[in-house]
Amino acid sequence: VPEGVEVELYRRAAATLVGERVVAVDAPDAWFLKHTDAAEVTAALVDAVITSIDRRGKLLLLRLDTGVSVGLRFGMTGRLLVSGPAGQVNPVAELRYGAVRDDATWDRFAARTARGVTVRVSDPRRLGAVELAPDEDAIGPDFLTLTARRLTTSLDGTGVPIKAALLDQARVGGLGNMLVDEICWQARLDPAVPTGRVRASPAGVDALAAQIRATGRRALRRGGSHTGELPRDVDAPCRRDGSVLQRRTIGGRTTFSCPVCQSEQPW
DNA sequence: GATGACCTGTGA
DNA sequence: TCACAGGTCATC
């Protein structure tokens, strides 16, 4: 599943596109284009030069010399594939999650540059999106550089479970279901604990911010948000104490946690 | 603030 | 055959 970790890997893979002029666009799936259509997105890209490629949370941004930015979202199953003139596919294509096949009917969006580099979004489930000039300010501080100070602001006074707060892209950008479960497990924090209780402890906010950064960096190093130590299996034992993991729905998402080592406030 | 819809491949 | 996966958004 493409969380911020995967999108960061996509960004690095796509860095080869910087400085390239776009010569062709293929946008065969109108449903995938949000607040725009194939003609408009083609007009925005063709003849423009890609000046930089940025990431805000799970949003990938192709910035153009025209001042326009094209936002790519990957939903649950979207992948970014970059291929050079020789046709080789970028290693990002090897990432393991969900479907690993590369079916041409899943192609939702593609752009080709003058030198023959192609960037392509493949998404079987069609939950991703392409958007012109997306609202970048709607995304909170990034999970890889999150400070305790900014996390404190993001956790302002509510009783929502801490997991739901961390999944809220307006509060923290880039975290998805799997990474949040892993972060809570690493922090020995019950994902159901009210956000206000975490915020009330400066030491807790500090530790949580550090854990978010550390877990994010580790997942990045290991190549994906699915590489954590917390098993996502029914009846799987906790790696720390061997307890049978608990499976619940929190924040509308399937949640795994250890009923023993994550049951008490660690701070 | 919680819930369901969106979408469709996957595996039981 | 059908529940299930989960990022995002609309609606309750």
Average pLDDT over residues A199-223: 95
Residue–nucleotide distance: A249 CA to B3 C1' (Å):
12
Tokens describing residue A92: 């990002």
Which pLDDT value is given to residue A98? Answer: 52
Average pLDDT over residues A168-194: 95
A182 vs A191: CA distance, rounded Å: 10
Average pLDDT over residues A224-239: 89
Protein residue with the closest CA to the C1' atom of nucleotide B6 = A127
Average pLDDT across chain A, whole number: 91
Average pLDDT over residues A216-229: 93
Residue–nucleotide distance: A177 CA to B5 C1' (Å):
19
Tens of pLDDT, residues A204-214:
999 999 999 99
Which pLDDT value is given to residue A5? Answer: 95
The answer to whether the pTM exceeds 0.75 is: yes
Tokens describing residue A197: 């209780």
Which pLDDT value is given to residue A236? Answer: 86
Q: How do beta strands A129-132 and A69-73 pair?
A: antiparallel
Protein CB footprint (7 Å) on chain C nucleotides? 4-9
